[in-house]
Structure 1
Amino acid sequence: MENSGDNNGSGVAIKDRRPEALGDLKVLPDELICYILENLTPRDVGRLACVSSVMYIFCNEEPLWMSLCVRKASGLLQYKGSWKKTTLQLEDPPIEYASRRPLHFDGFYSPFLYRRFYRCNTSLDAFSFDNQVLKARKVCTLEEFKHACNETDVVLLSGLADTWPARTTWTVDQLSMKYGDTTFKISQKGVKNISMKFNDYVSYMKVQRDEDPLYIFDAKFGEAAPGLLKDYSVPHLFQEDLFAVLDRDQRPSYQWFIVGPERSGASWHVDPALTSAWNTLLSGRKRWALYPPGRVPLGVTVHVNDEDGDVNIESPSSLQWWLDFYPLLADDDKPIECTQHPGETIFVPSGWWHCVLNLETTIAVTQNFVDSNNFEFVCLDMAPGYRHKGICRAGLLALDEGSHDDKSLSYPDMTRKEKRVRINSSRESQNCEEAINDVSKSYNLWKQGFSYDISFLEKFLDEERDHYNFPWSSGNCIGQREMREWLYKLWIGKPEMRELVWKGACLAVNAGKWLERLEEIRNFHDLPPLKPEERLPVGTGSNPVYLMADCAVKIFVEDGLESSLYGLGTELEFYSLLSKANSRLKSHIPEILASGILYLENGLYKVVSWGGKGVPDVIGKCNLISQNPREDSFPFGIWSKKQFEFKRVGKSVCKNTSDGCKGIWPYVITKRCKGKIFAQLRDTLSWEDMLNLASFLGEQLRNLHLLPYPPFDDLTLSSFKQKMELKNGRMENFLSESNIPVEWEVFIRTLNEKKKDVASRLTNWGDPIPGTLIEKVDEYIPDDFAKFLDVYKDENGQNKVCKPCSWIHSDIMDDNVHMVQCSASSYSSGNAADSGPRDTGSMNGFDGSGEEKSWRPTHILDFSDLSIGDPIYDLIPIHLDVFRGDSRLLKQLLEGYKLPLLRRKLQPLSGDDKFARLSYHTMCYCILHEENVLGAIFGMWKGLRMAKSWEEVELKVWGELNNYNGFL
């Protein structure tokens, strides 16, 4: 490219230096070169700056160094006056930045770099807008607000914050004086775990020249600065919040403290879970742009994951959109707009696209909420599948091209082959005419028939969806467990809303279909009719569970039919052995009243009883068992389940043989326990109650781990010894020449298989697991988990291991421990585990007699996740979920447990004594756990996110185990 014109006054055109300076890279557009540089290390970028004059220009651009910095930074950040200097200070060791006079070169012109430079340095003081559609209105009553929403949907309100202290105290100067050393979370594209002290952030705001500046957008500001919560109150128009029934640590983030300089803002998005929001501005001016649901703004690209329905959005920065895309819009295509001033509150309804640009330094507070108006939309957003998620955000553009004609507007049988919904390219080189055509297409499709109405949107749900089997979208604001608990709490706690809650539950968890299946089971066993409060599954667990007057019904559906059969089969085998051994544990497990299989045949439901032995005909047709089992055996018992778990790791035989056997559901009916689950009581229990609970769990783990497990019979051993095809195509004996006892073989091999992709799995889980630790995970865990066993020969020459092998529950969490109320005196007068329950009819621990009441544990629930292996595994859910990481409670449990966790002290390997630490074994199990245990660990111990090694995490979380005299 040559510059046309006399650029140096000599009348001679300046030669374009780009081709020579870039060499073979000259064929790449400037935008792509910048993208490549953003993915290099700071040191490599510094080296490239020395290659040529043009590369020097590319490599010294501040937006590049900002990108490098926010990608590398973690934890507390302090801006050093430039992004290059700040980034170099983050290197290990830090690189001193020598400030030199920048070099200037003629003969190079880049429209891409120039536009970005302009956006970084432009001022918005005189920024003008074509219109001001929304005007602030004074609304006093809820009826007036509803009337205003009927007129414009989006409403700009005045007067709601007039009495707030924040109205006068939330200024930069006053907040600096009071919260200058307080740390707040930073939000910006590409930012993960960055925070800044408020005074440091103010210093940054004053000197920054960024296109998309760092933005305080902190959802946990109430923890860092509790005083801020006292400075405002939720406006009376937005008091209803149905997420409030969840505990604070269970509900999704919903309130944010927002501070940002000129040019900062929020790019185009739809609020999470289709919630509604209110946003009150206390200082500065904000410019808002909004589009109705389903109408995707120009420049925005929507990606819908076809596995879990997660929706990802690519959008230009707020400033770039207003400068580069807004001018392309025809009048009919322009968004609803307004400028928000201090003291004004904007209401953003469910599903609305919105974009915010700060015209000057602003301070605001915002909250998202679920109320009666958007409840069904939130439930819809949580539902499994992907198509409805794309429709809610991208409207009819989420459908295949050519499927928008009038004949297709019946919609239920529409399918979408293209899962990646590309609405429009945001490349700056996009042709303007092309952009205008895309806008018109988007607008016409939106007008053609899209309706943000729940009866319309629910037609796009996958009819075959199964809330307990479909992948859960990682973009959902709460987990599956929290979702089910939320619905159940609303169902029980707000009976006046049951009609609405039922509609939401049918959308989210297919409640209507599960109720239909429950009724068939109830009729077969002649159970009493359901009461209204019993129609919804309880909100915990991975399978639908219904609590009736005297019994509980669990329908096994998790992970498909084959997994369900192993869950029920193992549980039935366990109960059989429990009875034969006459274990004390038997009195602390709910009695099984009935079990069987419900199946759909020729459109009719049928039920067959099944006690775990033999294979019912309906299951035999599915070819899940390769050999004919004996009628008195448990074909879906524990050893078959262990083989299945190994195969399911995905590295050998991973085909789901039950794919062709749909419409079959195993179930079990157990006697209902009195009292309440621990999850409902956690916040009301005294410290003494918690210590007694820890002792109880220690005693029951002892009883569980002493219970003998089934021996290998000839059929099982033959199955274990058969050759299995491995992923690499080799064939080898499952029990090759290993000296590992047969009962440990599958446990160890499964761990070794999980180890192979552990780094990628942790990366997919992402925040809050520190990336620096993920990089070190392979060197931390053993190369072979057989080293945990320390195999040796006894006096008879038999192979022995240092670990005891036992039944393990695997899932003792706060919803699987049952407690009843009793008087404190009766609790302390005898054995808590053996004393009978006493229903005092009291509330909150008191019955009015003046005598304090306590809660004592009585039962452990849900044995469908049973396994056999290292008993240490059972400590993981108890310590993290029940004890919430309290080492004092873990110590109390171990005092009641009294069994060895090692039969003898492991000998250090090659001078490395980590194998002798029980904490090391447990930490490795956490890393390889099928659930995101590490997310819980780094969520509870936030300081560990800055840990330099896994050993630091291990000793902080599990160090108490090393004090346990767990050796014979």
Structure 2
Amino acid sequence: MPSEISTVVQEPPLKRQRAEHVYPTQSRTISILNIANKQHPLNVKPSGNSLLSSTAELYQRRKDLLGKLSVLPNEIILFIISHVSDIGSLLSLSHTSRILYAFLYDDENWKRIYVSNIGQFEKKPWLGSWRNTILAIPQEHDAKLQLENNLLCCDELYRPYQCSQVDYVKIFSKILKEEEMYHRDSLLGQLGKLPKGRIARISEQSFGATGDDNDQFNTKYHDVPFILTDNDPNRWPQWTFTSLFERFPHVKFRQEAVSWDLQRYGQYLKQNRDENPLYLFDCNSDAMKQLRQEYTPPHIFQEDLFQLFQTAHFNCRPDHAWLIMGSARSGSTFHKDPNSTSAWNVAIQGRKLWIMLPPDVQPPGVSTDDEESEVTSPVGIAEWVISGFFNDAVKIDQVQIGVTFPGECMYVPAGWWHSVINIDDSIAITQNFVPRSKLPHVLNFFKNKPSQISGFRIKEIKQCLDVLIQSSNDESLVDYAAKLRQLADVIEDEARAGAEAGAGARVIDDDEDCGEIEKLPRLPIFEIFRQLLIAAGKEDLVGEAMSLVAKWELKEHQLETGKSKKWEDLTSVEKCTGSTFAFDFNESDSD
């Protein structure tokens, strides 16, 4: 970034940033044809090549190298190999022919073995790939046995390698150049009117630090994504990969399927050939407890009604603050944030590309059930881009695409679909929160999608209920004790059944995320949250939110049945604002 930019003082009022010029509209589609056409290290070819080279000579050569396995399609051979976990057998098999060597060169199978036996391998030095690490083969000694042209045409082997070679800086060069201009102009206070599909940038200083400015966020800006900017170079922690690795070399962090210390993860970051590199997403490490004290959330995001789940007497709040680290090409596929919460995400190092869609617009290449309880992304990020889904997304009128540069903060509204691609090696911090403008969304989610609630733990909910029972004069809360005992009985019965079934039986763990437990009776999260809000003096806010929830329920009922239903059947003033709340643990309401 030019040095003169950092000396410019941002003008605070929003009205002074009104557009004085309009940026030209540019196409954001990308060229697919020339993406990652590097030759596979063993000369494996795409499956389509087999249609152009089905010669008798190649067929005989395949038969010679595979023997009786030659009658099987490539995907069946790979399927069979995936059921072999003995390392010695796999190594011996890979030495029988060049084709089988290529099948066993695929890293995904070795990753599965590593994760399943992590205690056996986690102290071994990382050698650039899962295969090399398990077999203790330095990369410089790794044999690259070349196959004859078109001898092995297999998408299952070629596509992962192709995805691992994707260069997002090149692919998104037009978008990055355009976003760099918006970023620069926003720091100078000269940001003009953006073309359709771009994410607005707003100065953090322009919101001030008063209740009125928070009202401005809750009335004008809470429904759409925007990027919060700040030209103070010290606004956010100056963490780097080097500084974090030096501070916490032996602290373990969660990286999706594994839990490595930073020293080992640093080795992985420098050299991996994964199609989807491991993404560090940590909230509970000892290091994160320290790092959380080194930054302050933006003022407009500090109002958080989920704080009511955390008191001096209990803490049943779901995890909400994370450190995120990942190499270039890592990221997250399309998802909505849990429990209908909103989020903010600050780029500390590296650039992030965001693709965002409103709650009611399903992303291309993503499928869900009617309730969105199951979200399926059949391909990883790189394959999603290569397969043309990114270009499909660009054509959607409501899509919002932007890039956050170091020091910029993305606001993600509740319910918005978003996918994030790390253009560079990246460090970020993110938090989920519930502003008052999004309270109706959360209450509606808790009330009408109880099976999708996540992040709460039975043990902590029990502690919260104990406090509520003891502190309330409401006679109806006597029902809590009975239901609490019922839940305890369910856990005890499950544990007894598990003990009788023997090792490996699945039992309910009261310290486990409720969203990951099958056949769990419905927890009264909606009722607890409403009670906590009322006890905190927010009864009017609850009433307004529940009135809106009732309207959504009426609309949903009409869409599902095609029939109208009287308002009185859906809700009443007492249900919206009263202190009475009831719940049940009927098994029919289980996940």
Regarding TM over 0.5, the answer is: yes
Q: 1:476 to 1:338 in 2, by over 3 A?
A: farther
CA distance in 2, matches of 1:124, 1:259: 17
Displacement of 1:507 in angstroms is: 10
Structure 1 235/251 Cα, relative in aligned 2: closer, same or farther at 3 Å? same
Match of 1:374? 438
Distance of 1:517 and 1:237 partners within structure 2: 31
Distance 1:39 1:377 in 2: 45
Asked whether 1:123 is paired with 2:150, we answer no
Distance (whole Å) between structure 2 residues aligned to residue 63 and residue 30 of structure 1: 15
Match of 1:54, as an amino acid? I
Q: How far is the alpha carbon of 1:481 from its aligned partner? A: 4.2
Q: Give the match's secondary structure for 2:168.
A: coil
2:104 corresponds, among 46, 49, 59, to 59
- Residue 156 of structure 1 deviates from its aligned partner by 1.4
In the alignment, which residue of structure 2 is the partner of 1:499?
Answer: 543
Structure 1 residue aligned with 2:225: 154
Distance in 1 (CA, whole Å) between partners of 2:269 and 2:415 is 32
Q: Contact 2:321/2:432 (CA < 8 Å) preserved in 1?
A: yes
Which whole-Å deviations, capped at 9, do the CAs of 1:553-608 have from their partners, x for residues lacking one? xxxx5438xxxxxxxxxxxxxxxxxxxxxxxxxxxxxxxxxxxxxxxxxxxxxxxx
Distance in 1 (CA, whole Å) between partners of 2:316 and 2:419 is: 28
Q: In the superposition, relative to structure 1, how do residues 485 and 535 fare at CA in structure 2: closer, same or farther (>3 Å)?
A: closer
Q: Is 1:490 matched up with 2:553?
A: no
CA distance in 2, matches of 1:304, 1:70: 33
Return the offset for 1:64.
2.8
Instruction: Map Cα deviations across residues 892-934 of structure 1 (whole Å, 9 max, x no partner).
Output: xxxxxxxxxxxxxxxxxxxxxxxxxxxxxxxxxxxxxxxxxxx
1:80 deviates by: 2.1
SS in 2 for 1:203: helix
Residues 526-549 of structure 1 show CA distances to partners (whole Å, capped at 9, x for unaligned) of: xxxxxx986322xxxxx64xxxxx
Q: Which residue number in structure 2 is paired with residue 137 of structure 1?
A: 202
Residue equivalent to 2:254: 185
- Give the letter aligned to residue 179 of structure 1: F
C-alpha displacement of 1:257: 0.2
Q: C-alpha separation between the residues in 2 aligned to 1:374 and 1:35? A: 46
Instruction: Measure how far apart 1:97 and its partner are.
Output: 12
Q: Give 1:348's match in structure 2, choosing from 407, 412, 430.
A: 412
> How far 1:351 sits from its partner (Å)?
1.1
Rounded to whole Å, the distance in 2 between the matches of 1:203 and 1:160 is 33
Q: How does 1:775-924 map to 2 (within 5 A)?
A: none
One-letter identity of the residue aligned with 1:283 = Q
Asked if residue 242 in structure 1 is aligned to residue 305 in structure 2, the reply is yes
Among 123, 126, 143, the residue aligned to 1:80: 126
Q: State the 1:258 CA deviation.
A: 0.4
What's 2:515 paired with? 474
Instruction: Tell me how far apart the structure 2 counterparts of residues 130 and 291 of structure 1 sit (CA, whole Å).
Output: 21
Tell whether 2:264 aligns with 1:200: yes
1:101 is aligned, of 132, 135, 143, to 143
Show structure 2 runs of 5+ residues with no match: 1-46, 180-197, 208-212, 454-482, 491-512, 555-567
Q: CA deviation at 1:56?
A: 2.2
* CA distance in structure 2 between the aligned counterparts of 1:19 and 1:292, rounded to whole angstroms: 53
- Please say if residues 303 and 311 of structure 1, whose CA atoms lie closer than 8 Å, have aligned partners that are also in contact: yes
Corresponding residue for residue 897 of structure 1: none
Partner of residue 504, structure 2: none
Higher relative contact order (CA 8 A, sep 6+): 2
Q: Distance in 1 between matches of 2:67 and 2:361?
A: 44
**Alpha-carbon distance between aligned partners in 2 of 1:217 and 1:184, rounded to the nearest angstrom:** 8
SS in 1 for 2:531: helix
Larger Rg: 1
Question: Which runs of structure 2 are paired with 1:200-599 in the superposition (5 Å)?
Answer: 200-221=264-285, 223-247=286-310, 249-303=315-369, 310-326=373-389, 329=392, 331-333=394-396, 335-383=399-447, 474=515, 480-496=523-539, 497-500=541-544, 502-503=546-547, 535-537=579-581, 544=583, 558-559=585-586
Stretches of structure 1 lacking an aligned partner (at least 5 in a row): 90-94, 390-466, 520-531, 538-542, 545-556, 561-655, 657-763, 766-968
Greater Cα offset, 226-235 or 48-57: 48-57
Counterpart Cα distance in 2 of 1:509 and 1:14: 63
State yes or no: 1:174 paired with 2:243. yes
Note the alpha carbon deviations across 1:74-121, whole angstroms, 9 max, x for none.
6994552130244468xxxxx999966343332223244222212213
Indicate whether 1:113 and 2:133 are aligned.
no
Equivalent pair of 2:349/2:406 in contact (CA under 8 Å): yes
CA distance in 2, matches of 1:23, 1:354: 48
Number of aligned residues = 435
CA, structure 1 residues 181+518, in 2 after alignment: closer, same or farther (shift >3 Å)? same
For residue 589 of structure 1, what is the aligned residue in structure 2? none
Cα distance in 1 between the residues matched to 2:121 and 2:341:
31
Amino acid at match of 1:159: D
Q: Given the superposition, is the C-alpha separation of residues 16 and 122 from structure 1 closer, same or farther in structure 2, using an over 3 Å criterion?
A: farther
Following TM superposition, by how much is the alpha carbon of 1:6 offset from its aligned partner in structure 2, in angstroms? 10
State the Cα distance separating 1:316 from its structure 2 match: 2.1
Q: Provide Cα deviations, 1:429-460, integer angstroms capped at 9, x if missing partner.
A: xxxxxxxxxxxxxxxxxxxxxxxxxxxxxxxx
The answer as to whether partners of 1:88 and 1:97 remain within 8 angstroms in 2 is no
| Identity over aligned pairs, percent | 24
User: SS at 2:387's partner residue?
Assistant: helix
Q: What letter corresponds to residue 285 of structure 1 in structure 2? A: R
TM-score normalized with structure 2 length: 0.62
Q: Is the 8 A contact 2:534 2:579 kept in 1?
A: no
1:362–1:504 distance in 2 versus 1, CA, 3 Å: same
Alpha carbons 2:250, 2:263 under 8 Å: kept: yes
The TM-score normalised by the length of structure 1 is 0.39
- Residues 76 and 288 of structure 1: CA distance in aligned 2, closer, same or farther (over 3 Å): farther
Structure with the higher fraction of residues in helix conformation: 2
SS of 1:373's partner is helix
Q: Contact between 1:183 and 1:195, CA under 8 Å: does it hold in 2? A: yes
Secondary structure in structure 2 of the residue aligned to 1:333: coil
Distance 2:401 2:240 in 1: 26
SS at match of 1:480: coil
Q: Give the C-alpha shift of residue 154 in structure 1.
A: 1.1
- Give the root-mean-square deviation of aligned CA atoms: 4.7
In structure 2, C-alpha distance between the alignment counterparts of 1:363 and 1:123, rounded to whole Å: 19
Q: 1:205 & 1:30 partners in 2: Cα distance?
A: 31
Contact 2:282 2:288 in 1 (8 A): no
Alignment of 1:691-706 (within 5 A): none
